[in-house]
Amino acid sequence: VQLQASGGGLVQPGGSLRLSCAASGSIFSVNAMGWYRQAPGKQRELVARITSGGSTNYADSVKDRFTISRDNAKNTVYLQMNSLKPEDTAVYYCNAVIRRTVVAAPYAYWGQGTLVTVSS
């Protein structure tokens, strides 16, 4: 199983970016999917998470600015980021809890990370 993230880049404060992360490989089911971020010198933190049923939760720092969504048919999770601030600068990692077979236990997989830089 692989998670391939894309969509990072350089954006000015107040701008927008959309991140995507697609899961591929031997997949029976995908449970929760989410985005985490890690800024220089800081610990990795949860940004947003979405269950297979569509329930979402967000870090307080991104509420009302970021929106997480998913396409279950494509095993893909998205993160729409609006009104970006310099403090949003970080490497963003996608995460997905996946069962590879009907009898396999769920396992958390990570994407490779994509850099988001918010700067003028």
The per-residue pLDDT for range 7-52, each reduced to its tens digit, is: 999 999 999 999 999 999 999 999 999 999 999 999 999 999 999 9
Q: Do residues 24 and 112 touch, judged by C-beta distance below 8 A?
A: no
The predicted structure's pLDDT at residue 90: 98
Cα separations in angstroms, 73 against 1, 24, 95, 117, 118: 16, 12, 17, 30, 32
CB atoms within 10 A of CB 5: 21
The predicted structure's pLDDT at residue 67: 98
Helix (H, G, I), strand (E, B) or coil at 68: strand
Token pair, residue 85, equals 């601030």
Q: Which DSSP letter does residue 112 get?
A: -
Q: Do residues 26 and 100 touch, judged by C-beta distance below 8 A?
A: yes
Q: Which DSSP letter does residue 10 get?
A: E
The per-residue pLDDT for range 61-120, each reduced to its tens digit, is: 999 999 999 999 999 999 999 999 999 999 999 999 999 999 999 999 999 999 999 999
The predicted structure's pLDDT at residue 109: 97
